[in-house]
Structure 1
């Protein structure tokens, strides 16, 4: 080990273990946390350090240590029975006393420096004969509507082991009643109120009693429930009635839209006519126009009316849905009518319409069923119609990311697919150029640089995954190095795909995914999977993978079960590399078009 490595090693240990150096230690100061924490004696308080963030340091690859200090004594806070629990970036203080008020400093140390931030805890004395908290938030309730109040302790609920919530109104406990009879019902952290009335004005307190690592605590928040007396409820459309209206060609026609919006006070309600989704003008010089909106108010609400005028009914107006749309402050409603002819001589347009519809439906079905084959055939027969991609500044056709081997956790199936089968087909048969980390990266090159540069230089990203790829997120608070860079690959790709729109991701699913496994998938992957779908390798396999493996137990399988999984997976990769396979056709469909430079022979069908 040379001197530079020894210096880095000892400096890392020194930085990450030197808690006694808080006083006088030179750290980059991020000032005070914007959100103050308020509490009262006897309650618990949660302080959160926001320095573990990408804009402060790269916590995914840089080792770090978090310490909390009381600014009064500069003594490091550690777990103290009945009083303090430290959970990384979160500091819990139980059984608050007035003396606990003050500044609490969070310090994060890395081998390259340290960062600090102050959190302020404000402790207020409770007011006698008042069960509410001195600092309150306001939430609005709509009069005569079904509404709800939300307890502002959502962030706390996600962290504690278990909890119960009790609601109070003006210091009196609210009992959870039958939804069919009572007006109050609790659901998770919400208080549902049926038929809000002026008497519901008042002070509401939600008290959460919870357990956390053997400690029992209590936190309360008070809400000022303000009933909004001026209200606007859901519109009720009186006409049209979602039916058909018959009219004579060459004659005028008028149709009324009439709706009632219950409410009190002045509100903006809007009623308009549309033909399908095309707005109808108010200009009476048009062939079809709508008259100005008429409003008539009474003590219960407002009636809205608007007439739709056809000066002369023409054939092209028939068989169209004319929809009346109504908006109120609270909700939206619509109703329509379909214009039909009155005599039998107008049946011809119906047959023409039905025939055209049938032909369109058949064409759409054929195209949908054979879309990929049609597009691939068109690319092969007319390559000169496509732009050559050599001039777009990209080096690789696709960047391949997959779950790889690390620490004995075998992802051999994904390795075999990504390192052998994909290159054998896409590079060997179709002439594409792939980038695979570890295979194509330069020796000694930093992984972060290799990932960012290669993804930027790629036209597509192929994400290969199985049902257990994302399981480890549910079993470990600290990712392994390989899991960290694989997560970085995904994050970089999703950023370019969802935020920048500069990269197209191709999802390759190796095995059938169960609902239990889906619960562990990142939200970005689930969003792409729902939006564009995934190319399913397992559908083309001769033997489907044994689906007994669940994410909830992906770390508890014994060696015998691992061996059986390997034997079962051997058959998963038994399909040939034939270009006529449905899987390879789909993959080629989503790969970039190489333009006139692309000249795959007929035998490869690329």
Structure 2
């Protein structure tokens, strides 16, 4: 409680703050004797403390030069994330003999009083540095946890008649971070899709063909899906394996199970036809060339001498640009001993290694080996028209 000239001080111009009494809009009538008393408890005993001061009011010229200057804040905004701990300093310069009150307020109330219950936002102790003509004051405000209710609310630093505020606001979205994050996500998704596609590419293509392409394919005048070219090994065991694969397993899987149509020399030509004419005419009616490779040097010497291989490879590589499917009966480690045409085909189209064992289990179109062959085969087409069938019988 404070008194002036033995009368209790009342009115909005007088504010008690901690150990100070602030008087705003000072006039000559405010001069006089002031006394303030407070209660103090020490070692269980209660004491009354009284302090008094005499105030003389004098007129000064150039009062504007004595107004405190708030350096910071500057009526600015501060970006901060919710839940953050934040401390903001109020920096003030004032004349040495000035007695202005320095404090933080919110909603016209001292911060410590406004947040008296939660104590989430508190005003810190004042510090100062003295210079020859002025004093630099610092008094801070601390948020133990920034909450959504604090955003957009002015927190005002008062120094006598001077005041300045700051407002908290949410940080602007980091567009660059979003762009980088989005780009990384897209790249990651593209890599994942590419990786998954490479693993399941064959299954995806075969499914797509069976679901969509069968009704979209137009007639191209071809009668066969593939021409099968195979060597005649000199060893009896290899000859038997090649004949089994070409004359039994290939027709069983590709023709009967998958619906393809193959031309196999020795099986499909008419008796009495000239070999060169049969090969030249029929290979032009095929969409693919299947070459069976046996890892034996002599088996490919036939390409240098027999007209069947020469005409087939010539048509596939030069004349028609036909896609070639190489099937290795056994793993071929070195292609350098083979004709350049076979080396070129291997480099351009790759090769599929036979993984069967000439039993019924190897004659299933859904095995990995046959899926690879079907992937390189053309999409299945609708049955040829009657005119195309008649064309076949004219040869």
Q: TM-score, normalised by structure 2?
A: 0.48
TM-score of the superposed pair, with normalisation by structure 1: 0.32
Q: Which has the larger radius of gyration?
A: 2
